Amino acid sequence: MWTAYMVTFSLGFFGSMHCIGMCGGLVSALSMSRPVIWWSGLAAYQAGRVLTYSLMGLAVGLLGVPLQKLGGFGQIQLALTLLAGLMMVTFGLNIAGWMPDPFVRLAARVNAALGFAGRIQKAAASSAQISWFGVGLANGLLPCGLVYVALSLGLASGGTWQPSLMMAAFGLGTIPAMMFAPVVVRSLTPKNRGLVMKTLGILIILFGLFTMVRGTSWMHALHTGGTAGTHADQHQMHQHPMHSQ
Residue 211 lies in a domain: yes
pLDDT digit string, tens, across residues 125-168:
677 788 889 888 888 887 787 898 899 999 988 788 999 999 99
Domains contained in the chain, number = 1
Least confident of 30-44, 59-73, 148-162, 192-206: 30-44
Residue 10 lies in a domain: yes
Q: Label residue 61 by pLDDT band (50, 70, 90).
A: very high
Residue 94 lies in a domain: yes
pLDDT at 19: 62
Domain range for 58 is: 2-238
Residue 148 lies in a domain: yes
pLDDT digit string, tens, across residues 78-115:
888 888 888 888 878 887 888 887 767 777 777 677 66
pLDDT at 193: 73
Residue 41 lies in a domain: yes
* Confidence check: pLDDT of 237 > 50: no
Count CB neighbours of 19 within 10 A.
22
pLDDT at 176: 84
Residue 146 lies in a domain: yes
Residue 105 lies in a domain: yes
In contact, 197 and 96? CB cutoff 8 Å = yes
Q: What separation, in Å, do the N-terminal and C-terminal C-alpha atoms of the chain show? A: 48
In contact, 84 and 152? CB cutoff 8 Å = yes
Residue 244 lies in a domain: no
**Cα 96 to Cα 84: distance, rounded to the nearest angstrom:** 18
Q: Which phi and psi (to 5°) does residue 210 adopt?
A: -60, -40
